[in-house]
Structure 1
Amino acid sequence: MKTLLITALSAMAIALSAAGKSHGQDAMTITVYKTPWCGCCQIWVEAMQSSGYDVKVHDMEDLTQIKKQAGVSNELEACHTAVLDTGRKYVLEGHVPIEAVEKLTSERPDIRGIATPGMPSGSLGMGNDPNARYDVLAFTGNAAEKPTVFYEAGKR
C-alpha cells in the first residue's frame, strides 16, 4: 500500500509540474485520482473521454494526500481529483461540468484549478441535469485567497 501511495504521489507531482509541452485540444490529457468503488466518478471519467480527452485513471483507497498536494482545501473537496494537461497543468476537483473545462482550456487563467465542491445533485456524474444550478469555483492553491466563482452551471 505504501508503494502504491508513493507511486501515485510521484505521478501527481509529475502531472502538476510546471514544465509541460503545448498540446492541441485533441491531445489534452486528464489524469484522474478516484476511489475504485465510486460509480459517479466513473460516469464523469466516461463523459470526459466522450468529449475527446485522453483520460488516465488511478484508483486509490485514500485521496487525502493527492488533494493536499493539489492544493484542494477542505471547503473545495469532492469525491475525485484530476489534473488537466493543456500545456499548463490545472486541477479539476469533483464533478466539474464539461462546459467549465472548455472555458478553462479556452481562457487559460492564472489559477491552480477549478472545483465543484461536494457532490451537487444534477452535476456531471450525479444525474447530469443541464438545468441543475451550482457554482464551479476557481482557486489558486493559496489558503489565504478565497475561491471565486468561475462558472455558473444551469444559468442561462
Structure 2
Amino acid sequence: MKDKIIIAVLIVIMLLNGIDVFVDIDLNVPIWHVLQESAIVFISGIAAMFLIYDLRKRTTSLNRLSTQLKEADTQIQSLSGKIETERKHYGQVIKAQFEDWGLTMGEQQVAILILKGLSLKEIASVRDTKETTVRQQASSLYAKSNLVGRHEFSAWFLEDFLNFK
C-alpha cells in the first residue's frame, strides 16, 4: 500500500511540476528555472516508473509463491493421507505378527508399549498392574518371539525401515 501512495505522490509531483514548466515557459521565466523543474518532472517520472515496475515484479513473485504454497499444501495433504494409511497398515502387520507368535492380549499390550519406548515400570503404571506381572509378560513375549530383550524386539520391527537401498 505504501508503494502505491508513493507512486501516486510522484505522479502528482510530476504532473504539477509539468504544468508549472509550461506556465513558466509562457511567462518567459529564466531557462535555468525551467530546466530545474523539468528535471524534477523527469526524475519523478523515472522514480514512479521504477516503483511501478518493482511493484509488478513483487506481485508476480508473490503470486507465484502463493501458487507454489498451495501446491505444497496439496502435496502435504496427500502425503498425510498416505502416511496415515501406511501407519494403519503397519499397525495391522504388527498385530498379525503378534498373533503369529501367539501372544496373549496382555502380552500384546505390553509389546505395543515396549515398542513405544516405555519402561516396564511405566507400562505397569499405564496398565494399572504390578511391575512383576509386566516383567513376566515381557519375558513370555520375548520367548514366544525368539528375541532377546526389548532392544532386539524393537529392532525386529524397525529393521525393514532401516534397510536403505
Q: Normalising by structure 2, what TM-score? A: 0.22
Higher Rg of the two aligned structures: 2
* RCO comparison, higher one (Cα < 8 Å, 6+): 1
Structure number with higher strand proportion: 1
Structure number with higher helix proportion: 2
